[in-house]
């Protein structure tokens, strides 16, 4: 598969928003108006995409009483998976809302722990992140150590 086919077929956040990756200019200040606007578009599009999908799922949620026990078990398992998915999406919506607020307060794009730049590429991959790659790696290592003992 060539790079162009993968790019057009993937359902990334940038594709959902209908934007191209941001091209940083060499003399450009980090988190300037253009970059902020770029991420506003991405976050609002992602929010709308998730809420529309959740509304569609709620409309499709019709329970049928199957007489066969295996069919009922399958239906229950599908329902549980759908609930899990919806719960994850609702958490994502909350994080998107928090991130939009950070954008409005000019706190977006900087690590919560060390206050360094998170980076445009990392934010495009995960716009709701609030940690730079180094702090995220350290947090994951700490979490692994805690769960080991």
pLDDT tens, residue by residue, 59-116: 566 666 778 888 888 888 888 888 898 899 999 999 999 999 999 999 999 999 999 9
| Predicted local distance difference test score (pLDDT) of residue 10 | 38
pLDDT at 58: 63
CATH classification at residue 60: 1.20.120.910
Structure letter (DSSP) for residue 32:
-
CB count within 10 Å of CB 124 equals 19
pTM comes to: 0.79
Question: Left if phi > 0, otherwise alpha if psi is -120 to 50, otherwise beta: which for 144?
Answer: alpha
Number of domains in the chain: 1
Q: Is the pLDDT of residue 6 over 50?
A: no
Phi, psi of 109 (to 5 degrees): 95, 0
Q: What Rg value do the Cα atoms of the chain yield, rounded?
A: 20
From residue 104, alpha-carbon distances to 68, 98, 143 in Å are 54, 10, 31
Structural domain containing residue 26: 3-148
| Cα 140 from Cα 112, distance rounded (Å) | 15
């Amino acid at each position: 598969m060539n790079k162009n086919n993968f790019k057009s077929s993937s359902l990334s956040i940038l594709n959902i928003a209908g934007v191209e990756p941001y091209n940083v200019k060499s003399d450009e200040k980090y988190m300037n108006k253009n970059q902020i606007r770029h991420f506003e578009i991405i976050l609002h599009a992602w929010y709308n995409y998730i809420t529309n999908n959740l509304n569609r799922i709620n409309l499709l949620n019709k329970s049928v009483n199957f007489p066969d026990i295996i069919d009922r078990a399958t239906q229950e398992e599908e329902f549980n998976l759908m609930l899990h998915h919806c719960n994850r999406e609702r958490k994502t919506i909350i994080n998107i809302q928090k991130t939009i607020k950070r954008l409005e307060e000019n706190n977006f794009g900087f690590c919560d722990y060390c206050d360094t730049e998170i980076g445009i590429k990392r934010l495009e991959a995960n716009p709701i992140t609030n940690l730079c790659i180094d702090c995220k790696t350290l947090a994951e290592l700490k979490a692994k150590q805690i769960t080991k003992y």
